Amino acid sequence: MPPPRSRRLLIELVRLLDRAGLAGPAFRTYERLQAVVWRSGVATVDGLPLPPADLRYMVAGTADPDSFIASGRAHAERIRAHLGEALEPPGRMLDFGVGCGRIARHWRDLALEIHGSDYNPRLVAWVQEHLPFVRARRNELAPPLGYPSDHFDVVYAFSVLTHLSADLQVAWMRELARLLAPEGRLLVTTHGAGMLEHMLADERERFAAGELVVRNVRARGSNLCAAYHPPDWVRAHLLDGLAEVMWTPGDLSQDVWVLRRKP
């Protein structure tokens, strides 16, 4: 089923703005407007500080505080369900694309050494100041990360590949495989067939033909850039040095891949 007419028109408008190099500035202006609409206090029901509205929107696509907390909690619970014993201490875990801690804030009581990395310096700075149990640092748009090889028992990248160009996806998957301990687990999410209704007709045709679809590639690294992944494309291009443990289509609102290093 194609997206409704209003959404198609919005997608086409953003395409035109992207070609003119104006999509990024327009999107950032919209994020700032969210901060005005969703002004809120500092504390939340989980006892941790709440990020500013523009940071919440940047990470979650909504600045609604309740939705921000609830969605992060739900994603953390499903990650637990997918990784199971891999989350048992001792060990280290990396949240790659930590954002402003939407998921990481729910690991406060987890007896692992929690690390976070993100491309956006404002997001990293907020986590460093307000979530002290997360060892957060900034990364560049392209690899490498400043960690030694085999360093993490668990690595997850929730809704990160979905906002990168093909070359960056390949490069980052190789880097995350390098960081993974020999018996570790890597969890990543992708936009699969469950997102067909969000695609335009030409995008659905390319997806059905097995092609990766990347929209607004100039904005790679932000939510404005959206990538849609046929499963066979993922297997052919992103699993270099990795073995598939589990593929769950449509879970966590996206396809979930649990991977391990090949011997």
Q: Is the pLDDT reported for residue 145 higher than 50?
A: yes
Rounded percentage of the chain residues whose pLDDT exceeds 70: 83
Q: Is the pLDDT reported for residue 223 higher than 60?
A: yes
Q: How far is CA 231 from CA 10, 115, 187, 196, 225, in A?
A: 27, 29, 15, 13, 19
Q: Is the pLDDT reported for residue 3 higher than 90?
A: no
Q: What would the mean pLDDT of 81-93 be, rounded to a whole number?
A: 94
Distance between CA 5 and CA 10 in Å, rounded?
9
The residue type found at 188 is V
Higher local confidence (pLDDT), 57 or 174: 174
Q: Supply the pTM of this predicted model.
A: 0.87
Confidence of residue 219 (pLDDT cuts 50, 70, 90): confident
What's the chain's average pLDDT?
Answer: 89
Tell me if 63 sits within 8 A of 37, measured CB to CB: yes
Instruction: Report the pLDDT value the prediction gives residue 46, as an integer from 0 to 100.
Output: 79
Kindly state the DSSP code that residue 253 receives in the 8-state scheme: G
Tell me if 91 sits within 8 A of 113, measured CB to CB: yes
CA dihedral 165, 168, 174, 178 (to 10 degrees): -130
Q: What would the mean pLDDT of 155-174 be, rounded to a whole number?
A: 98
Tell me if 88 sits within 8 A of 65, measured CB to CB: no
Q: Is the pLDDT reported for residue 227 higher than 50?
A: yes
Structure-block tokens of residue 231: 């499963």
Out of 3.40.50.150, 1.10.1380.10, 3.30.70.1520, 3.30.1330.90, which CATH number does the structure's domain 5-261 have? 3.40.50.150
Vertex 143, ends 217 and 30: CA angle to 5°? Answer: 40
Distance between CA 144 and CA 76 in Å, rounded?
26
Tell me if 242 sits within 8 A of 259, measured CB to CB: yes
